[in-house]
Amino acid sequence: MSQKVTSGLTHECGVFGAIGTEFWPSDVDISQIILIGLEALQHRGQESSGIVTTNGTNFNIQKGMGLVRNIFNNENMKKLTGSMGIGHTRYSTSAASEQVNCQPFFVHSIHGSLAVAHNGELVNKNGLRKMVLGRGVGLSTHSDSELITQALCLNPPEGEINGPNWPARIKHLMQLSPLSYSLVVMLKDRIYAVRDPYGNRPLCLGKILPLDRINGFSNNCPVEGWAVASESCAFLTHIKYVREVLPGEIIEMTKGGIRTIDVIDRPEGKSPAFCIFEYVYFARPNSVFEGQEVYSVRAQCGIQLAIEKPVSADIVGSVPESGNAAAHGFAKQSNIPFGELLTKNTYVGRSFIQPTNRLRQRNVSLKFSPIGVNVAGKRVILIDDSIVRGNTIGPIIKLLRNAGAIEVHIRVASPPLQYPCYMGINIPTKEELIANSLDLMDLASHIGADSLEYLSVEGLVKAVQRNAKSENNKIGHCTACLTGNYPGGVPCEDEW
């Protein structure tokens, strides 16, 4: 089958939802909490953001293109009233970088108004799209997030779900499309937090605490509200992390509290498949997945990389910032001093999620500058978290050479990416992945390195699972972009 993505799609994003309890202060709008959460999730998407709130009667919507701080100001935040809301920050392929695709999506249905924010990508989007269109529903975008919203509003053809039975509708959607998504679904009086049965995309739960009780928190402390987010880094000092949403879990959040409505099982014989690339690149280092901080996993990847692929050098450094932890681990294991080789301009966006190769390459020269005292006359080991298209590592090596490095050895704290992702990461074609076109020696020569080595798949899984825990003691990871083993199988052409 073709390996090419054919339409504009929703890819790796950040979702956030929050609802106040009876203790929520009447003079505070929940949108302030959501705004802080979206800013903490900005690394997951820089193209557009949106917030929808409600006071139980009216829905208030603000969406736009660009960074969170540029979309929301004092004037439009005053319009986002209410003690319940959801938010979204997004990146996509260039074809879908348009105002019409901004989330959350909001619709009026016969059973009430509905707002949906989505992280992930449906592996059977075309089949679901044909079903929705075949039921007489028009779609205004190619976004599978809009598709999810409309599918939730449809009555199943069997007629077993009538009326506003939203848990049944969500369950039916999950049975129609088992991956990949984390969802926040908001009605006028409640929010549903939903994670696909494979747990492919992250989602976690937190308690909103009174500001004057944060340091003195106890189990008897009143809870002002509940929050759900793609990553725990979105829970700052005002929110206490509780746990991850389980794979397949549907959590109902109301003014009266939270409860698990259902946990939808995976197909028989299938294991959890949390995206291992969250650990490698996407997540912030202080986020917690499976009972462990991302930073500690990345450091363990560096340790394992030094065991598997040692090399003699004078200094170990990293491509900041997602390579930092692995570089510290590599330096510790190899007994080679760690030092900063590059300084980063933090006001330049992430090169991986820029929509074109030209923009990615342009960003490198704007983003990094070498630290001469640590580079000149040295044999350096540069740790990178991953190499995808190979557009950025070559210019970085050139920067180090120009600063006086006598040797540059590249060590990559993940295996080579060789297969496209159908579940939400922007790795659309095998042809774009440089590991498929050049072997190690040719790739090293192509980027100007003295040597290049990757962490093995087994080493990555070992590092990730060493201290992993889950609420139901079930651990499993999707390595499809590394191995070609897709948790739900490769999508059929008519589904994709």
CATH code, domain carrying 124: 3.60.20.10
The candidate with the shortest Cα–Cα distance to 173, out of 191, 190, 197, 189, is 197
Do residues 156 and 123 share a domain? Answer: yes
Number of domains in the chain: 2
8 Å CB contact between 273 and 199: yes
**Residue at 361 is within a domain:** yes
Q: How far lies 294's CA from each of 130, 231, 299, 386, 430, in Å? A: 39, 11, 9, 15, 28
- Give the pLDDT of residue 10: 37
Range of the domain at 375: 288-461
Of the three residues 213, 238, 270, the one that is the final residue of a domain is 270
Q: Do 191 and 259 lie in a common domain?
A: yes
Q: pTM value?
A: 0.90
Quick one: CA torsion of 71, 72, 76, 77, rounded to 10 degrees? 160
Digits of tens for pLDDT over the chain (496 positions)? 223 333 333 357 999 999 999 999 988 999 999 999 999 999 999 899 999 999 999 999 999 999 999 999 999 999 999 999 999 998 764 335 677 789 999 999 888 999 999 999 999 888 899 988 988 888 888 888 889 999 998 877 666 666 788 999 999 999 989 999 999 999 999 999 999 999 999 999 999 998 765 555 555 678 999 999 999 999 987 899 999 999 999 999 999 999 999 999 998 889 999 999 999 999 999 999 999 999 999 999 999 999 999 999 999 999 988 899 999 999 999 999 999 999 988 665 554 444 455 555 556 667 889 999 999 999 999 999 999 888 889 999 999 999 999 999 999 999 999 998 888 877 757 888 899 999 999 999 999 999 999 999 999 999 999 999 988 888 999 999 999 999 988 776 554 4
C-alpha span between 362 and 55 (Å, rounded)? 45
Q: What is the pLDDT of residue 161?
A: 67
Residue 417 CB: number of other CB atoms within 10 A? 25
236 and 343 assigned to the same domain: no
* Co-location of 251 and 122 in the same domain: yes
pLDDT at position 3: 31
User: Residue 33 is encoded by which pair of tokens?
Assistant: 């909490």
Same domain, 152 and 236: yes
Q: Confirm or deny that 481 is annotated as ligand binding.
A: yes
Report pLDDT for 348.
Answer: 59
State yes or no: 275 annotated in a binding site: yes
Q: Which of the listed residues 244, 270, 296 is the one where a domain comes to its end?
A: 270
Q: Are residues 77 and 203 located together in one domain of the fold?
A: yes
Same domain, 174 and 307: no
385 annotated ligand-binding residue: yes
Q: What is the pLDDT of residue 407?
A: 98
Question: Is 478 marked as binding a ligand?
Answer: yes
pLDDT recorded at residue 265: 93
In terms of domains, do 205 and 315 share one?
no
Annotated ligand binding at 421? The verdict is: yes
Q: Which residues are catalytic?
A: 13
| 312, 186: one domain | no
CATH number assigned to the domain comprising residue 421: 3.40.50.2020
The pLDDT value recorded for residue 144 is 86
**What is the DSSP code (8-state) at residue 404?**
T
